[in-house]
Structure 1
Amino acid sequence: MTHKGLVKSRLDRMHQVLTGHVERGHIPGIVALVSRHDDVHVDVLGNLHADRNERLSRDAIFRIASITKPVAAVATMILIEECKLRLDDSIEPWLPELANRRVLKSIASEVDDTVPARRSITVRDVLSYRMGFGSVMAMPDTYPIQRYIREYRLGGDGPPRPAKAPTTNEWIQRLGSLPLMAHPGERWLYNTSGDVLGILVERVSGKSFGTFLRERIFEPLGMKDTAFNVPASEFHRMPTCYAFNHAANKLDVYDPSGPESSWAPSPPFESGAGGLVSTVDDYFAFTRMMLNQGRLGREQILSRASVELMTSDQLTPQQREGAELFFGTASSWGLGLGVCIHREEIYRKPGRFGWDGGTGTSAYVDPAEGLIGILLTQRMMDSPEPPRVFTDFWTQAYAAME
C-alpha cells in the first residue's frame, strides 16, 4: 500500500491564500507546515517585523503561547507512566497550597462568599482542566474574582508577559489564597490548569520545569530552540509580536523582539499554560512524536496507551457547559489538549487533536489521515474563536490531501 501525500497544485493555492493575509497587511509574517506521511511542505512568507524589510526564515523563534499546553501534559504523563503520580491521587501532597479548597457560591460572589469544596483536586482534574479555577470569559471587572486574578498576575486574564510574572512559589501561594470557581471535577475552565501542571512536574521530579522538559522531551526529540526564553545570540530570529488595533486599523507592538522582549530574560515562573518559544521544525518533532503514538525514531517519550488516553475526549457535555466559545459543538478536551468529536468543517474531524495559541499559533494532528499542520504567526488572536488565517490554513491543508 502506498501512502498518499499532498497535491502540489493544492499547496500552491494554500501559498496564494496565505500570501493574501500578508499582502493585506493583517499579518507581517507566516511560517506554515503541512505534513502527510512522507510529504512535508513548509511555506515561509513575509517579514520578522511590520515596519522593516527583514525576511522571516524557517528557523524563526515564535512565542507559541497555548500550544505549550500539550507539552506540559506530556511531561505530566511521563511521571504518571513512572508511577510517581497517579491520575486519581490528590495533588495535595505535592501542592499543599491547594489543599482545603473553598468554592465561590456563584461566579458573581465576593471572594469570601464560599462553601467547602466537595473533595480535593486530583491529578486527573488538572490534566482535564477540571480543577475548578481558570479564565473568566467576561468583560474585565464583571465579577470580583477577576480583579484578584489580574492583581495577583495569575494569567488567563490576558496575554502572557513572562518577565512580569511572580515567582513560581508566589504564584501558587496566590492561587491558593483564592477560592475555586467550581467544585473539583465539575466543569472545564481554561488555562490555569496548564500552569499548575508545570509546578506539579517541578515538585514531583525535583527539577525546574524547564530542566525536566529539556531532559525528557526537548533533547530526545532534537528540539534545540524550544525553551522559556530566547537567548541573546538568537534575538535576530525572533519576530516582533503584534496585536491588531481595530479602531485604528493597524498593528500595534505587543512584545518587541530582542532585549526588550518579555521572553528575553529567564522568567521567574515557567508557564506550562503558555510560556514556551519554539520553531516550526521543533514543534514538528513534538507533533510527529504524538502522531507516532509516543515515539520519534529511537526515542520513546510516552507509551501508545498514554497518547491514546490523552487524545480521547475526557469531558461530559455538562462539564463543557460554559466553554462554547472554545469548543463550539465540534470540539472537547482530552488530557491537556483539544480533541475533535464532531465533524462540521472540512478540517474539524473526529480524532483530530491539538490546540491554538493566543499569540497567533495553531498546531493539530489528524492520526487517521497521517496529517500534521503547524501555523506560526506573530499576530495575537482577538478572541478564543480562531482568526480567518487559521481557518483558511486548515481548509487548505485538508483540501491538499491526495
Structure 2
Amino acid sequence: MDGLQELVEEPTRTGSVPGVVALVATGGRREVAVAGVRSLGGAAMSRDTVFRIASMTKPLVAAAAMVLVDRGRLGLDDEVRRWLPELAAPSVLRTPTSELDDVVPAERPITVRHLLEFSAGHGLVPQFDAPVVVALQERLHQGPPEPQRIPAPQEWVARLAEIPLVHQPGRGWTYNTGADVLGVLLARVAGTSLSQVLADTVLDPLGLHDTGFSVPAGSRDRFATSYRADDSGDLVQVDGPDGQWSEEPAFASGAGGTVSTVDDWCTFAQMLLAGGQHAGRTVLSTEAVRQMISPQNRAEPGNLFLQDQAWGFGGSVDVSAGQLWEVPGRYGWMGGTGTAGYLYPATGTVAVWLSQREMAGPADLATVGRFLTAVARPGR
C-alpha cells in the first residue's frame, strides 16, 4: 500500500505514540511497516512485537464460541442459565440511567446468541455517569484491561448477577460486558479455562503462538510497554513487560484480555476471509463465519460505541460509509490500547494497526483513521 511507512512514522515523529506496527494484506501478500520504539528510551519496534490488543480480543472469543457451536457443544439459542445459573433470573433497569434498585423482572432468558450479538443487557451505555456503568467499573473492572485486578470467574459472575440488565434480553445493544460473560460461559461449557478453550479452538489450529492472555518470559523482550497521556499530554507508563501480562490471570477477559502480533491477528482474519479454512483444514464452518461477519444487531442511532453501524458476532459490521474509513461489509474492531484490526470481504483485504498508547479522544482516533482511510480509499 502506497504511503504505509509514512503513516506509521508520522505519529512517532510527533511523539504522540512511541511506536507502531501496521500490516495490510491482500491475497497472499502482506505488507508491514514499523516505526518507533517498544518503550520510551528502549529497543526499536519490530514486526514481531507483542501488543496488548484490548477489544480486538472480542472477535477471537466469538470465533471460539462458534467453533463450539460447530462441534455441537452449544447452540446459539441455548439458554445460558444451563451453565450460568447465577444469571437465571436477572432484573432489568426501567431505563438505562435508572438507579440500580429501579428494576423490573426479565421477560425472557438470556441465550448464547444474545451474548454474541451484545443484546443480553449486560454492558456499558454511553452515559458514563449512569449508575449501572459506575457499578460495572467499580465491581467488575469494566474499562481499560487490568487482568490481575479482576476477580476469579465464580466471584465475577456472582458480582455481575447483582447488577441489573440495561434492557430486556434481545431488545437492545450494550457494549463490552457480554464478551466477558461469553468467556466465562465457554470455560464452563468446556470444563476448563477460557485460555485453554481459545487455544484449542482458534490459536492452535491457526498456529498463533504469540496470542494469548499472558506473555511467557522468553517473549517479554518483544513485549511493548503501554502508555497513556496525562493532562499535559506527556506519556505515562501504564504497564511494562513484567507487569500484568507476565502471568496467567485469574479471570481471562473475553472482552479485552489478550496480547498478539500483527501477523497472528492477520492470520486469524484471513481464515475468516477464506470462509473458515486455513492451511487446508476447516477451523470454522462457512455458516459460522457468515454469521460472525454479518449484521446481527444495531444500537440506537448515534450510540457512542457503535455509531450507526451494526454488530456481528464479536465485532462491528459496516452498513454505511459515514466516515471515510468505513466500507459496507467491513468487519472488525478497535482496541482502547491503541489497536485496530479489520477485514474487508469485498477486496479480500486485512488491515491491522498496533500501537501502545491508550486511545483517549478524537486525536487518537484520527491517527488510526488516517491508516484505515488509506486502506479503504487508496489515494485519498
Match of 1:369 in 2: 347
When residues 111 and 215 of structure 1 are mapped into structure 2, their CA distance, relative to the original with a 3 A threshold, is same
Match of 1:265 in 2: 247
Match of 2:169 in 1: 184
1:127-159 CA deviation, whole Å, 9 max, x = no partner? 0001101013234xx33333422331x233x21
Q: Secondary structure at the match of 1:146?
A: helix
Q: Distance in 2 between matches of 1:307 and 1:53?
A: 40
Q: RMSD in angstroms over aligned alpha carbons?
A: 1.7
Q: Is the 8 A contact 2:23 2:32 kept in 1?
A: yes
Q: Distance in 2 between matches of 1:122 and 1:346?
A: 36
Q: Distance in 1 between matches of 2:210 and 2:313?
A: 25
Q: Which of residues 166, 177, 195 in structure 2 aligns to 1:210?
A: 195
What residue ranges of structure 2 are gaps of 5+ in the alignment? none
Q: Distance in 2 between matches of 1:328 and 1:180?
A: 21
How far residue 386 of structure 1 moved from its aligned partner, in angstroms, is: 6.3
Match of 2:365 in 1: 387
How far residue 323 of structure 1 moved from its aligned partner, in angstroms, is: 5.8
2:52 aligned with 1:63, yes or no?
yes
Aligned residue type for 1:136: V
Q: Distance in 1 between matches of 2:322 and 2:211?
A: 34
How does 1:295-374 map onto structure 2 within 5 Å? 295-316=277-298, 320-321=299-300, 324-329=303-308, 331-374=309-352
Aligned residue type for 1:89: D
Q: Which of residues 244, 256, 261 in structure 2 aligns to 1:274?
A: 256
Q: Is the 8 A contact 1:325 1:384 kept in 2?
A: no
When residues 45 and 346 of structure 1 are mapped into structure 2, their CA distance, relative to the original with a 3 A threshold, is same
Q: Which of residues 255, 273, 277 in structure 1 aligns to 2:239?
A: 255
Match of 1:233 in 2: 218
Using the size of structure 1 for normalisation, the TM-score is 0.90
When residues 146 and 38 of structure 1 are mapped into structure 2, their CA distance, relative to the original with a 3 A threshold, is closer
Aligned residue type for 2:138: E
Q: Distance in 2 between matches of 1:26 and 1:337?
A: 27
1:87-123 CA deviation, whole Å, 9 max, x = no partner? 1221111110111111112233332221111111011
Q: Which of residues 100, 112, 120 in structure 1 aligns to 2:89?
A: 100
1:206-252 CA deviation, whole Å, 9 max, x = no partner? 1211111112211111101111011122211111101122x312111
Q: Secondary structure at the match of 2:80?
A: coil
Q: Distance in 1 between matches of 2:232 and 2:323?
A: 32
Using the size of structure 2 for normalisation, the TM-score is 0.95
Aligned residue type for 2:304: L
How far residue 203 of structure 1 moved from its aligned partner, in angstroms, is: 1.0
What residue ranges of structure 1 are gaps of 5+ in the alignment? 1-5
2:186 aligned with 1:201, yes or no?
yes
When residues 115 and 296 of structure 1 are mapped into structure 2, their CA distance, relative to the original with a 3 A threshold, is same
Q: Is the 8 A contact 2:126 2:305 kept in 1?
A: no
Q: Which of residues 160, 165, 169 in structure 1 aligns to 2:150?
A: 165
1:1-48 CA deviation, whole Å, 9 max, x = no partner? xxxxx5xxx2xx221132111100001000000011122100111001
Match of 2:122 in 1: 133
Q: Secondary structure at the match of 2:81?
A: coil
Q: Is the 8 A contact 1:101 1:117 kept in 2?
A: yes
When residues 90 and 341 of structure 1 are mapped into structure 2, their CA distance, relative to the original with a 3 A threshold, is same
Aligned residue type for 1:349: V
2:131 aligned with 1:144, yes or no?
yes
2:101 aligned with 1:112, yes or no?
yes
2:133 aligned with 1:155, yes or no?
no
Q: Distance in 1 between matches of 2:218 and 2:27?
A: 35
How far residue 184 of structure 1 moved from its aligned partner, in angstroms, is: 0.4
Q: Distance in 2 between matches of 1:285 and 1:199?
A: 25
1:253-286 CA deviation, whole Å, 9 max, x = no partner? 121222xx11112101011000001111111111
Q: Distance in 2 between matches of 1:144 and 1:388?
A: 30
Aligned residue type for 2:29: D
Q: Distance in 1 between matches of 2:216 and 2:293?
A: 33
Q: Is the 8 A contact 1:325 1:385 kept in 2?
A: no
